[in-house]
Structure 1
Amino acid sequence: MIARGLPAVLLVNLLVVGPEWLMPYAAFPHPWLAAEALLVAGVMLLVPRPWAWIAAVVLSLAVMVSVGLALSDLGTGLALGRPMNLLIDLPLAASVEHLLRGAVGGPAAWAILAAGLAAVGYALYGLSRLLYRMAPGQAGMASVLVGVAMVGAGLLLQHHRDAWPIGRAVDAPALIRYTDQADRVLRTAAERRAFADALAVPQQPIQRRMASLQGRDVILGFIESYGVSFLRDARYRVTGQAALEHLAGELEAAGLQAVTTSMRSPVQGGQSWLAHGSVLSGRWISNQIRYDLFLDTPRPSLIRDFHQAGYETAAVMPAITRTWPAGRQWGYDQIHDHARIEYAGPPLNWVTMPDQYTWHYFQRAIRAPSASPVFAELALISSHAPWTPVLPTIDWSRVGDGSVFHRWAEAGPAPGVVWADRDRVRRHYARAVDYALRTAGEWAARDLGDGILILLGDHQPAPLVTGEGASRAVPVHIIARDRTLLEAFVARGFRRGVMPPAKALGTLADLRSHLLAVFDGEPTAGAAVPAAASGAVAPSPEEIKE
């Protein structure tokens, strides 16, 4: 009986404890025994034979779900710098499939997903068979005693798993995965109610006149994955500082100046729209629930602020390849997604078009023909993973309809080659952000004129690139010709030049308050730190990484 059940016990134990050895951020020890393995084995020895197959399937499913939760925590930890939350992260499965298709192609992506699904089904069936074999044909006293002993041992070890010396070798990872996930879901549900209540509080309407702008265009350019690690991490600092020096040189030659700060983003590694939403709304939009709640409740945003001041508002979103209802909910006058942007060049793996074309298109198709001042939000995606190929900037007069970029359609190593080597991934990341900054600087020097460019990162890249525990802060540059306007930002805590200070000036949710105060010409005394989103809409302590 023991010999027949030993493979099942060992397999359950390996499945449950194995993922804990890989966790980059968990406080767990590296256990070699899971209390759940003893509990599962004990239950199978006690269950009557007619119920053995049902018990085996149920227990196998419980084990496999706990493994799935653990691997999901591992995946979101490496990609987004946080554990998985079932209440907000299930929609990300579609994003994973989309990114996989962009990295390896559609057929290969579907083959990988199908193989993974088949492997899970086979593992579930195989584990069920092994557990079923443990059930005794006839419930003898020996099997009952051993079963009771194993269940008792499992319960005792689970209860005392933090005691020394048990805690050095024993844990209850499956139980922890289930209880942690339940706790996250309950806390998120409570947060949803609190955020909805905060949005329901009526606000005094304010007429935005943007007097300090004097009708000048305002461009909000989000550079994908541009975080402070690009400027401070020793692995990227040389490239980052060279990119900023190039940016500063381009601006100075064109008579432009910059002030800079850094602000904490609500996300890391992905979900850029939450960072965009935090800036636009002035609220801490750290998950999809908050994002959806804000859009479902008519509230002030930068888009509506500029509408009031007589601006034409536009969104340039080259990465949006499907219907985008949120764009209409935000209230843009114009939405230029991938389908609407006239681009004759090639896609570059996940990146639908290079940043240089995005800037060129914005200037030619939106800004130049507008009879009204323009407020535009641009998503600059050349620095989005997989960071290959990285293009050079070309003569702007040759950009045209983008067909000139066909020569780089197959340039650079394939994503699979890049991502097989962690150091190569990091080199390509640095080159991609360098390209994004240089391209933005060249466009500003050529075409910004008397406009105001707010150039900022959306979030830090994944922990694979930054390492564990990296700050969530991103640089925020305000670029303009108007020295008086820029000095108003300095009075609110920004620094002159393009290098951000070490300490973040609040969060991206605070940026709207800074912009409106300066653009509306509010007094600066005592206003260096605006009234940020507070209470239910403020970041929780675990979300803040300085």
Structure 2
Amino acid sequence: MSDADTPTAPRPRRWRRVWGGWREKYPVAARVLAWATTAVALAVVVVALLMPTQADKVRLAAFVRLPVEAIFGAALLIVLPRKPRIAVAAFAGLGLGALTVVNFLDIGFNEYLGRGFNVVLDWSLFSDAQGYLQDTFGKGGALGIAALAVTLVIAVLALTTLSVIRLGNLAARHTETATRTTLVLAIAWVTCAALGVQYAAGIPIASEHTMQALQFKAEQVQRTLQDEAEFAKIAKKDNFANTPPDQLLTGLRGKDMMITFIESYGRSAIEDPVMAPGVDATLTAENKKLTDAGFAAKSGWLTSATYGGSSWLGHSTFMSGLWISNQQRYRTVTAGERLTLPGAFKKTGAWDTVGVMPGVQKAWPEQNFYGIDKLYDSHKLGYKGPKFSWSTMPDQYALTAFERLVHSKKHDKPLMSTIILTSSHQPWAPIPELVPQDQVGDGSIYNAIEKAGKKPADIITDSTKSKQEYGKSIQYSVSSLINYLVKYGNKNTVLIFLGDHQPIARVSGNHASRDVPVSIVAKDPKVLDKIAAWNWADGLQPKQDTPVWKMNAFRDRFLTAYGSTPAP
């Protein structure tokens, strides 16, 4: 046989040759690096398996536990042959990475919306989040944050996958040691679970966190799908669906109605020790303005269907009398013919219905569902000034535009106006200032105010500063609304105003209620006499013991109090 015919062993890949040579040259450094890499892989897997879903539960004790999933996983990888082991490890690592990403989403959603991430319904919210980031940090900043988020997701998936594969290969190379270790950990887990051993904080040492998380998500998907069918049936039931027009709202005929939402105006604004002093002083001062102008008010509490954001869920809950707590319910109800509060006024034929919604920046098909004849969105209010982060225009300007374009015009019928004020939308920087009414103009006056205001980056990561600025934004919104009412309201004006939800947890506090203030203001004493049985507090500030209703209860109680006859 010639030299050419002599078989040769396959040459190792270049990186293996380089690594092998380096390892032989620096054996101590190579061992340290190998052990460090293994330690990192172990830490990644443990952290991923034990990651809490709420920021306030992220503590050292949460990660110093025995995850049963790791014990079962190790036992499986030890007995599998090489190729199946690598395939199973890669699949498990990807799944663990995906669960870690969902856990981080849960933390974010709990922090901002007071609930976890719904894997069925919440994907649509990312476009709203992108718009919020763009308004807060600009296009460049929003793109940078989005790119960073995508990079982190890919990194998490890759890191968990490589970590599980490495640990599986290590267990296969040291089968005897891995088997003994797994057996010891299994005995320890069973013992701790049987005896209920836990840390002082009440955290059990024997953990089933990942299995419980997967079970919860699976049940959540099932509940979501069931809720869709059940809610569709509930939405069809309406106590006032067949009430004749002449039997609706007979107690408010001839009144100019205003339903106004103040963004993020929650109970915390009135009761939190940081925000309350300024907000309460403003409510007291504005109530005196109303009294001096001949108005009176009664106020109560409503529990919103949303928290921290998704304002449209609060709006639709209040207007429709249905509990609209997720996007699927919102789509279901707005695709139907449910009688809303503006729709009830429209149905009578005795009111013209208008909407002033500076936060609406694109086509809004829900206009027909709500029964709004004419809509003034952000493009139709004539504003030429700057945006204030997410808010397209200051509340004072929106109300002034409403007066100029709508209220001051001659009408054959009274108005039913739905107004959504946005200046108290997070991040609460910069905040507009009240300007003399005759200087509002086209909004150009706000250019200097916006430039002189705080930047979102100055407060967005600081809870105390966020609270302070949030409180100031609520003061501004309430003052803008009451100033408008005192100047342009008359004996036939009736104002209902409320918050749509509490601010985010970083401002309202962990585990805060979902309650928001609601007030009805009028000059005609007969209007407030009709709700005397509600036991609401006098003035603009509900008391701590004032009755609390779920927000969806308001529609039917309001319709009934003002002369509507139920006809399901």
TM over 0.5: yes
Q: How far does residue 163 in structure 1 lie from its aligned partner after superposition?
A: 4.4
Matched with 1:92 is 125
Distance 2:301 2:171 in 1: 69
Residue correspondence of structure 1 range 136-535 to structure 2 within 5 A: 136=169, 143=175, 146=178, 150=182, 153=185, 157=189, 161=193, 163-165=195-197, 168-201=204-237, 205-209=242-246, 210-310=249-349, 311-369=351-409, 370-449=411-490, 450-502=492-544, 503-520=546-563
- Cα deviation digits, residues 289-318 of structure 1 (max 9, x gap): 222111222122212211122211122111
Q: Would you say the 8 A contact 1:39–1:155 is kept in 2? A: no
Q: How far does residue 30 in structure 1 lie from its aligned partner after superposition?
A: 2.3
- Cα deviation digits, residues 442-466 of structure 1 (max 9, x gap): 0010012121110111111111111
Distance 2:170 2:552 in 1: 64
C-alpha change, 1:489 and 1:474, in structure 2 (3 Å) is same
Q: How far does residue 396 in structure 1 lie from its aligned partner after superposition?
A: 1.0
Q: How far does residue 81 in structure 1 lie from its aligned partner after superposition?
A: 1.3
What is the letter of the counterpart of residue 62 of structure 1?
A: G
Residue aligned with 2:497, SS: strand
Q: How far does residue 29 in structure 1 lie from its aligned partner after superposition?
A: 6.8
Distance 1:124 1:161 in 2: 30
Distance 1:460 1:252 in 2: 28
| More deviation, 100-109/208-217 | 208-217
Instruction: Kindly tell me the number of residue pairs found equivalent between the two proteins.
Output: 523
Q: Would you say the 8 A contact 1:77–1:83 is kept in 2? A: yes
Q: Would you say the 8 A contact 2:77–2:171 is kept in 1? A: no
Distance 1:273 1:138 in 2: 53
Matched with 1:539 is none
- Cα deviation digits, residues 87-109 of structure 1 (max 9, x gap): 22221111221211122111111
RMSD: 2.9
Q: Would you say the 8 A contact 1:303–1:332 is kept in 2? A: yes
Distance 1:27 1:175 in 2: 20
Q: Give ranges in structure 2 of 5+ residues lacking alignment.
A: 1-30
Distance 2:197 2:170 in 1: 38
Q: Would you say the 8 A contact 1:5–1:41 is kept in 2? A: no
Residue aligned with 2:518, SS: strand
Q: How far does residue 267 in structure 1 lie from its aligned partner after superposition?
A: 1.2
Matched with 1:79 is 112
- 1:47 equivalent among 77, 80, 86: 80
What is the letter of the counterpart of residue 255 of structure 1?
A: G
What is the letter of the counterpart of residue 389 of structure 1?
A: P
C-alpha change, 1:504 and 1:96, in structure 2 (3 Å) is farther
Distance 2:468 2:484 in 1: 25
Q: Would you say the 8 A contact 2:96–2:160 is kept in 1? A: no
Q: Would you say the 8 A contact 1:269–1:463 is kept in 2? A: yes
Q: Would you say the 8 A contact 2:97–2:160 is kept in 1? A: no
Distance 2:228 2:151 in 1: 36
C-alpha change, 1:155 and 1:110, in structure 2 (3 Å) is farther
Q: How far does residue 147 in structure 1 lie from its aligned partner after superposition?
A: 5.1
Q: How far does residue 28 in structure 1 lie from its aligned partner after superposition?
A: 12
> Are 1:68 and 2:76 matched, yes or no?
no
Distance 1:104 1:5 in 2: 39
What is the letter of the counterpart of residue 563 of structure 2?
A: D
C-alpha change, 1:26 and 1:518, in structure 2 (3 Å) is farther
- Cα deviation digits, residues 155-183 of structure 1 (max 9, x gap): 98389647421663232322222111122
- Cα deviation digits, residues 352-404 of structure 1 (max 9, x gap): 10000111111111222243211111111100101011222111111122122
C-alpha change, 1:137 and 1:214, in structure 2 (3 Å) is closer
C-alpha change, 1:432 and 1:155, in structure 2 (3 Å) is farther
Task: Give the share of equivalent positions with the same residue, in percent.
Answer: 26
Distance 2:172 2:536 in 1: 75
Residue aligned with 1:409, SS: helix
Matched with 2:14 is none
Q: How far does residue 25 in structure 1 lie from its aligned partner after superposition?
A: 6.6
C-alpha change, 1:132 and 1:362, in structure 2 (3 Å) is same
Q: How far does residue 111 in structure 1 lie from its aligned partner after superposition?
A: 1.0
Matched with 1:111 is 144
Residue aligned with 1:471, SS: coil
Matched with 1:541 is none
Distance 2:237 2:77 in 1: 55
Distance 1:225 1:328 in 2: 25
Q: How far does residue 437 in structure 1 lie from its aligned partner after superposition?
A: 0.7
What is the letter of the counterpart of residue 391 of structure 2?
A: V
- Cα deviation digits, residues 215-254 of structure 1 (max 9, x gap): 2211100001111211122222211211111211221222
- Cα deviation digits, residues 458-478 of structure 1 (max 9, x gap): 111111111122221111111
What is the letter of the counterpart of residue 541 of structure 2?
A: M
What is the letter of the counterpart of residue 278 of structure 1?
A: T
Matched with 1:133 is 166
- 1:9 equivalent among 42, 49, 52: 42
Q: Would you say the 8 A contact 2:263–2:501 is kept in 1? A: yes
C-alpha change, 1:59 and 1:147, in structure 2 (3 Å) is farther
C-alpha change, 1:345 and 1:182, in structure 2 (3 Å) is same
C-alpha change, 1:16 and 1:135, in structure 2 (3 Å) is closer
C-alpha change, 1:143 and 1:357, in structure 2 (3 Å) is same
C-alpha change, 1:139 and 1:165, in structure 2 (3 Å) is closer
Q: How far does residue 421 in structure 1 lie from its aligned partner after superposition?
A: 1.9
Q: Give ranges in structure 1 of 5+ residues lacking alignment.
A: 523-529, 534-546
Distance 2:455 2:116 in 1: 29
| More deviation, 6-15/414-423 | 6-15
Distance 1:159 1:123 in 2: 33
Greater Rg, structure 1 or structure 2? 2
What is the letter of the counterpart of residue 223 of structure 1?
A: I
Q: How far does residue 138 in structure 1 lie from its aligned partner after superposition?
A: 11
Q: How far does residue 5 in structure 1 lie from its aligned partner after superposition?
A: 4.7
C-alpha change, 1:202 and 1:314, in structure 2 (3 Å) is closer
Distance 2:402 2:259 in 1: 12
Matched with 1:57 is 90
